[in-house]
Amino acid sequence: MKIIDLSLPIDEKGFEVHKVDIERITHKAGVEKFNRVIMGKTLRGKINYLLGKRILKPADLPDGEFLSLEIVHSPVHVGTHLDYSFHYGTQSEGRASKTADEIPLEYCYQNAVRLDLRHKKAAEEITAEDLETALKKEDYVLKPLDIVLIWTGADKFYGTPRYFTDYPGIGTTAIDFFIDHGVKVFGVDTMGIDRPYKFMLKEFIDSKDPARFYPAHFYGRKREFIHIERLGNLSSLPQAAGFKVACFPVRIRQTGAAWSRVVALV
């Protein structure tokens, strides 16, 4: 069995709309941080720390090093992640929306199929008809619980401003197509399932039509679905089907999305 990584990283050096910061405390700096944190728990400890006293010194440790520590400050929508209905609104299908820690785990390890939509241009919508054509091309029939991976090739722009502007969106007819075929999870290699901001927002401002603003996300209030955003490396899959995908969400309490190390098992 071969395991293929289909995930993009959380990277503070890549271009992002939302601020991402990773505080990296080195092994040597970790000695001082340990003293500051532990001694800072009491007033006497704080005073002793300010006076230059230490309970742990580099000489007390192998190679004079403590443990490294990285502190990640990032939205849950940066890096490869799963979105669930709470992200879309307070209600879905007339019931209270569900958070990412409520995603049924059995949905997250299933047979998968990759559909080639690389011909779709930026600002275009992927429709149910597009999905039907792609499935016929692969001679594949969708089965309930299949995980569908939409391949646009947009991940090649990751880390640059173009990642936020050059990709097609998922239309509501495509979402209906997935749900009507029993698909619980579908994924895209784009930064989001809706079309890029610059097209969507302009059309909304020009027309004042709310249906043009985040239609795919807001459709999750009408019909419940789970989707993966920011997939990568779909080109490395050796075939369009005949493999499984694992996309278990990190268990974060009460969030609309959660990070995932999505992999294909071929």
Q: Which two tokens stand for residue 91?
A: 């209600």
Query: Would you call 212 helix, strand, or coil by DSSP?
Result: helix
Domain ranges of the chain: 3-10+75-265, 21-73
- What is the CATH architecture assignment of 3-10+75-265? 3-Layer(bba) Sandwich (3.50)
Per-residue pLDDT of the chain (266 residues; tens, 9 = 90+): 999 999 999 999 999 999 999 999 999 999 999 999 999 999 999 999 999 999 999 999 999 999 999 999 999 999 999 999 999 999 999 999 999 999 999 999 999 999 999 999 998 999 999 999 999 999 999 999 999 999 999 999 999 999 999 999 999 999 999 999 999 999 999 999 999 988 888 888 888 877 788 999 999 999 999 999 999 999 999 999 999 999 999 999 999 999 999 999 99
What pTM does this model have?
A: 0.92
Q: Please tell me the distance from the alpha carbon of residue 25 to that of residue 145, in angstroms, as a whole number.
A: 42
Least Cα distance to 264 among 77, 108, 102, 78 occurs for 108
Q: Please tell me the distance from the alpha carbon of residue 169 to that of residue 189, in angstroms, as a whole number.
A: 11
